[in-house]
Structure 1
Amino acid sequence: MAKETFVVNGMTCASCVANVENAVNKLDGVDKAVVNLTTEKMSVDYAGDKVSPEAIEKAVADAGYEAEVYNPDTAKSQEEREEDKIHKVRERLIWSSVFTIPLFYLAMGPMVGLPVSNFLSPHHAALTYALVLLVLTVPVMWLGRSFYSNGFRTLAKGHPNMDALVALATSAAFLYSLYGTYHISLGHAHHAHQLYFESVAVILTLITLGKYFETLSKGRTSEAIKKLMHLSAKEATVLRDGREVKLPVDKVVLGDHIVVKPGEKIAVDGQVISGSSAIDESMLTGESLPIEKSSGKPVFAGSINGQGSLIYEAEKIGKDTLLSQIIKLVEDAQQTKAPIAKIADQVSAIFVPVVMAIALVSGLFWYFVMGQTFTFAMTVAVSVLVIACPCALGLATPTAIMVGTGLGAEHGILYKRGDVLELAHKADVLVFDKTGTITQGKPQLVSSYTYGNSGAALQLLASLEAKSEHPLGQAILVAAENANLDLLEMDNFSSLTGRGLTASYA
């Protein structure tokens, strides 16, 4: 059984997720396909001898969307995709608002007593008024053309989504307004009060605003993933032909000898071949105290070197490093569905068709049964289509899982699957295997016992530890700092491994 991750483009709501999953799950050889709307990724378990990635991509395309195999080495990162989306949606929102605001003022202003020129008044220049509204509406529809292309495409394929609701509602309002404009051109000026151009523009702009906020919230939920990615070093100092060369981490190859200086990050996983130091591995292990490293000891990408210098050999690079595996673990957890998500999926799968049916029945009821005008009946149908939006239904659960797993990762807690996160609230007891993982992460000097002047003893000890690389020595230095003690000059300093420190002072 093979497993592949795909990036899916064109999804806008929970109905899209259901459409893509159904299309792929119907393929012979596919065991399970799971789509995450928030990350826009699809994880597929399939039999490689029965179905190929190309066949899966074609099934998604036939459903009205686009899919391609996710390659972490060449594909844009989640952060880059989010930034691109936010930029595009923000730009669309700004330009839509530029046309919608004056359009809304012209259409609704006279109703609340706002001043409007007679040249643009529906009472004095109905045709000019209608044409100006039309000219202001068309750019907004062009800017929101993705609603129509996605909506009508999915409608034609028999799998309507939220965009289909928007496309149908605004198209109906626009066509009816064109019909009204035609009657105005024939001299029936009273039709100026039955134009709905402003409804089209306002609906598209408000939904674009919702998309913008949605995109921002989706970006924030993956903040922990970004922080984990930023833990990795960007450059490494590699020994090439006896010289130290600064290289990007992705240029490091297996077997390279890498130099790590005090305070630097470990670039890739490897094994120390010379030098000694203490390395802060708390981001991997949760242990607050730095770990002593010397020849033969392993080091891991993202951990931070202490005061010593090391040379180590690269043994794992790229996606094989422990940090990359942790990032993948968190991403996989964010892509899995919690059991509660299945309920939302079942509802959203039939939500759009049901809403469309309700809109049609509502319009027909008011026209034939209640005897209302066609305009009123159409207004009712359009209102039902526009107001019913399943975005929140499809986004709530995956977004909650992303926030939960992300916050957990930020605090050093990793969840392997979304269902584990859902069950976490039932836990009554937490068991820790190491006491160091629940400390503040920094050693402190709590108390001391000395003969004579305790301040003088602390001053001597801190002066000695100032030349040491031992992590516990930092606690003594901080204590001396807090006591406002000046450090003494130490000569002939020597560190005796496993035995202590020696020095002399005048």
Structure 2
Amino acid sequence: MTLSNRIFPAEAQLAVTGMNCASCAGRVEKVLRNVAGISGAKVNFATGQAHFRVTSPEAMTAAVAALDQAGYPARPAETRLHIQGMSCASCSARVEKALLAMPGVHSANVNLATGTAAISHSPALSAGELADAVSAKGYPASPRQDHAPPHQHDHDEDAARLKGRFLTALALTLPIFVVEMGGHLLPGLHHWLAQAVGTRLLWLAEFVLTSAVLAGPGRVFFQIGIPALLRRTPEMNSLVALGAGAAWLYSTVATFAPDLLPPDSRHVYFEAAAVIICLILLGRWLEARAKGRAGAAIRHLIELAPETAWAERDGELVETAVADLRAGDMVQIRPGARVPVDGVITAGTGPVDEAMLTGEPMPVVKASGDKVTGGTINGTATLSVRVTATGAETVLARIIHLVQEAQATKLPVQAAVDRVTAVFVPVVIALAVLTFGIWLIASGEVAPALVAAVSVLIIACPCAMGLAVPISIMVGTGRGAELGLLFRRGDALQRLAEAQTIGFDKTGTLTQGQPALTRISVSGISRAEALRLAASAEAQSEHPLAEAILAAARAEGLELAPSQGTKAHAGRGLTAEVEGRALLIGNLAALRETGIDPDPELGAQARHWADEAATPVHLAVDGRHVAALAIADTIRPSAAKTMRELEALGVDTVLLSGDVQAAAEAVGGQLGINRVLGGLLPEDKLQRIRDLGEGTVFVGDGINDAPALAAARTGIAIGTGTDVAIESADVVLVSGDPRGVPRAIRLSRAVMRNIRQNLFWAFAYNAALIPVAMGALVPFGGPQLSPMLGAGAMALSSVFVVTNALRLRRFA
């Protein structure tokens, strides 16, 4: 952990790795006590934390270095910064470079779309120092505090601010545009104005209005772009500042000192400078609006949790701020209200809409003892709930955190983009200078050379390059969260899109994970009576098979009778007396040992069930075999459809199970899985995953699946499974429905397809139009691109990329 403030001396702590025993903890304490400026060192072996008092930043650095040298390195700290002022890929690349240049920074991922940076660094560095380093580069940054509520960059606020700037620029620019360009629509207008007012007065008015545009709404380009240029780290704002500034400066000289220019070059381009600023502000406004829609999913999740709840205080219900609730508090949730925090129902039964959590539209009936999740919607009943988690510990907060982490991740495809954007703006400036020189030599006039150079500066657009990948990830992961698909790591999107083989665990993944009564065959007794007697005898048993029989009886509304003399026989079953009748429930061996002859038909039926991976249970009443019951871990209703969808996607499926081969093959046969591997230990699953190849995906839910989930190129965890499995996975299916697997693959492929489209547009746009702006078509009779058209095309480029990514919101 970094120091919480820079006031010394200060209390500090470090997470220490490499400690294997209490002796290690003692050695770590000794190492810290020998560091100058460190006092009161105490190490907790159980938590892996070292607590001490530090007198200076240098002492903290020395402590980290001493631990590393002693073989107990401090765990890297993770910090997230919110960064303002980034407008293009060059900006984000520059921020990333500044962070990576700091001693002690291990990795830094800067996301242009979300305006954030995720940094892994030495604990000797504080979040404030990281923020200061970024701010020094001209991009104001601030750390996100761990205790702060989940944050989403407010693009709506950006859009409102940019809209105001654009409308102001538009009002100032329109008169200039009408004066200079109106003659193209109304012949003679320009000459009439020149005669009526005078050319010099018109130029003076244009000078005043254009200066107002540049100094007012366009000031931001110069405030950011010029300092970046002086630091020799030019970016998008630098290009705009150079282009618009050059047009304004040249026009100002032509207005106030025309003798400094050749007679043929005495023209003004005030309209170009003003329109450039106006169009680029328009583009950024539209882009910010689109970004706001791109982040709508995560913002919607943030807004789900209500601000107040009805909590019990001294026996009365009091409206209480959710922030003041604590684990153990009792709250009442009224019909139609949102569940404020995570908890367990203590009273009440009714439907709860969990669509925001699972993506499933049908409400789920909840009763006493069931868990409820903050942000879900209560139905028609009043529920009393005991709070189990609040704040950052709730499921909703963790989902938001996971989505934000995924959005901050860089995909492997981003590396190529980063290499281009790192040199893009300097190359564009060099091309603009080259263009100016070539045109000046070719035409002998300053004006056309200036127009061509400004066009090159304005039309180049690294914004689209920088947004192409992160904006698609942002929309894709947000849409995934709405559908109950949590990408814990953003790069899983790219890996999952390339999936060729998927290995499935059986129990709890393709099956329900708990035994259920599936069939009953009877001889000389009714089906309902056989089930009632069996359930009555099993009522006092804690065996999992007994629970399956009891659940079936409760589901059919059967009234159970009291049992007496119940006695369990290990590995055989149990005996009991119900309503004066002697009952035996167990396997065939139990029947034979008590001298009961198995009914041939019931025995044959039981063997058939066993071949289908069910467990047969036999019922004997007063010494006669009267019923056979089949208990099995039932296949999830959607499992077969999942396999058909994966087959349609061209993905091979393999069943990897710890169950015996026969049971695994029975399930595989019913689902149409041709390759079935049973009898696997956790380490066996791990090896099989490796044997299946690099592109293998594994889907599981249990603790024993965690190694395979971690080893697979992409691990998908069933959300109803264990926390260990979920933490080991790259993707989590919140609803627990295996249909989420093909849906996740389709979403990942849609995102990657969208990214490829964005990248093609961003690179093709620049590759095609920069040469046109330089005048490559002029020798062949083609057009010379004006700076105004260049500004419009540049604005369109970014808007196109963001709008294209927004199509992912319609993914279903």
Normalization by structure 1: what TM-score? 0.80
Does residue 1:7 correspond to 2:79, yes or no?
A: no
- Of the three residues 82, 99, 102, the one matched with 2:155 is 82
1:48 paired residue number? 123
Distance 1:133 1:195 in 2: 9
- Of the three residues 355, 358, 362, the one matched with 2:428 is 355
1:319 paired residue number? 392
Contact 1:122/1:129 (8 A) holds in 2? no
- Of the three residues 445, 450, 453, the one matched with 1:378 is 450
Does residue 1:96 correspond to 2:176, yes or no?
A: no
Q: Structure 2 vs 1, CA of residues 196 and 282 (structure 1 numbering), >3 Å: closer, same or farther?
A: closer
Contact 1:172/1:382 (8 A) holds in 2? yes
1:454 paired residue number? none
Q: Structure 2 vs 1, CA of residues 196 and 325 (structure 1 numbering), >3 Å: closer, same or farther?
A: same
Contact 2:159/2:289 (8 A) holds in 1? yes
- Of the three residues 423, 447, 459, the one matched with 1:387 is 459
Contact 1:14/1:395 (8 A) holds in 2? yes
Secondary structure of 1:94's match? helix
Contact 1:63/1:159 (8 A) holds in 2? no
Distance 1:299 1:435 in 2: 24
Q: CA deviation at 1:226?
A: 2.1
Q: Structure 2 vs 1, CA of residues 411 and 322 (structure 1 numbering), >3 Å: closer, same or farther?
A: same
Distance 1:58 1:202 in 2: 36
Does residue 1:37 correspond to 2:122, yes or no?
A: no
Contact 1:278/1:291 (8 A) holds in 2? yes
Secondary structure of 2:189's match? coil
The residue type paired with residue 273 of structure 2 is V
Does residue 1:130 correspond to 2:234, yes or no?
A: no
Q: Which blocks of at least 5 consecutive residues in structure 1 are unaligned?
A: 438-495
Q: 1:92-133: per-residue Cα shift (whole Å, max 9, x none)? A: 111111111221110122345445387841797121111111
Does residue 1:107 correspond to 2:175, yes or no?
A: no
Q: Structure 2 vs 1, CA of residues 195 and 72 (structure 1 numbering), >3 Å: closer, same or farther?
A: farther
Secondary structure of 1:247's match? strand
- Of the three residues 305, 309, 313, the one matched with 2:378 is 305
Q: Structure 2 vs 1, CA of residues 281 and 241 (structure 1 numbering), >3 Å: closer, same or farther?
A: same
1:468 paired residue number? none
Distance 2:448 2:373 in 1: 68
1:220 paired residue number? 293
Secondary structure of 1:339's match? coil
Q: CA deviation at 1:282?
A: 4.8
Q: CA deviation at 1:135?
A: 1.7
Q: CA deviation at 1:277?
A: 4.1
Q: CA deviation at 1:54?
A: 2.0
The residue type paired with residue 111 of structure 2 is N
Matches within 5 A, 1:161-200: 161-183=235-257, 194-200=267-273
Q: CA deviation at 1:426?
A: 2.1
Distance 2:483 2:81 in 1: 29
Secondary structure of 1:35's match? strand
Q: CA deviation at 1:500?
A: 4.3
Matches within 5 A, 1:164-313: 164-183=238-257, 194-285=267-358, 290-295=364-369, 297-313=370-386
Distance 2:267 2:467 in 1: 36
Bigger Cα Rg: 2
Contact 2:88/2:236 (8 A) holds in 1? yes
Matches within 5 A, 1:461-480: none
Distance 2:558 2:303 in 1: 37
Q: 1:427-446: per-residue Cα shift (whole Å, max 9, x none)? A: 35676966799xxxxxxxxx
The residue type paired with residue 390 of structure 1 is P
2:70 paired residue number? none
Q: CA deviation at 1:345?
A: 1.2
State, as a whole percentage, how many aligned pairs show the same letter.
Answer: 36
Q: CA deviation at 1:155?
A: 0.9
Does residue 1:150 correspond to 2:232, yes or no?
A: no
Distance 1:119 1:75 in 2: 62
1:421 paired residue number? 493
Normalization by structure 2: what TM-score? 0.51
Farther-moved stretch of structure 1 (5-14 vs 93-102): 93-102
Distance 1:107 1:206 in 2: 17
| Higher strand residue share | 2
Farther-moved stretch of structure 1 (222-231 vs 66-75): 66-75
Q: Structure 2 vs 1, CA of residues 153 and 187 (structure 1 numbering), >3 Å: closer, same or farther?
A: closer
2:761 paired residue number? none
Q: Structure 2 vs 1, CA of residues 303 and 251 (structure 1 numbering), >3 Å: closer, same or farther?
A: same
Matches within 5 A, 1:464-503: 500=557
Q: CA deviation at 1:339?
A: 0.9
Contact 2:265/2:447 (8 A) holds in 1? no
2:143 paired residue number? 69
Q: CA deviation at 1:374?
A: 1.7
Q: 1:373-392: per-residue Cα shift (whole Å, max 9, x none)? A: 12222222111111112111
Secondary structure of 1:245's match? strand
Q: CA deviation at 1:278?
A: 4.7
Secondary structure of 2:332's match? strand
Distance 1:148 1:23 in 2: 21
Contact 2:350/2:379 (8 A) holds in 1? yes
Farther-moved stretch of structure 1 (163-172 vs 416-425): 416-425
Q: CA RMSD in A?
A: 3.0
Q: CA deviation at 1:372?
A: 2.2
Distance 2:162 2:554 in 1: 60
Q: CA deviation at 1:191?
A: 7.5
Secondary structure of 1:132's match? helix
Q: Which has the higher contact order (CA 8 A, sep 6+)?
A: 1
Distance 1:282 1:136 in 2: 54
The residue type paired with residue 255 of structure 2 is T
Does residue 1:397 correspond to 2:469, yes or no?
A: yes
Secondary structure of 2:485's match? coil
Q: CA deviation at 1:249?
A: 2.0
Q: CA deviation at 1:313?
A: 2.2
Contact 1:330/1:405 (8 A) holds in 2? yes
Q: CA deviation at 1:252?
A: 2.1
Q: CA deviation at 1:289?
A: 6.0
Q: CA deviation at 1:315?
A: 2.3
Farther-moved stretch of structure 1 (236-245 vs 277-286): 277-286
Contact 2:402/2:488 (8 A) holds in 1? yes
Q: CA deviation at 1:4?
A: 1.0
Q: 1:131-173: per-residue Cα shift (whole Å, max 9, x none)? A: 1111221221121100000000111112110000000111111
Residues paired across the two proteins, number: 439
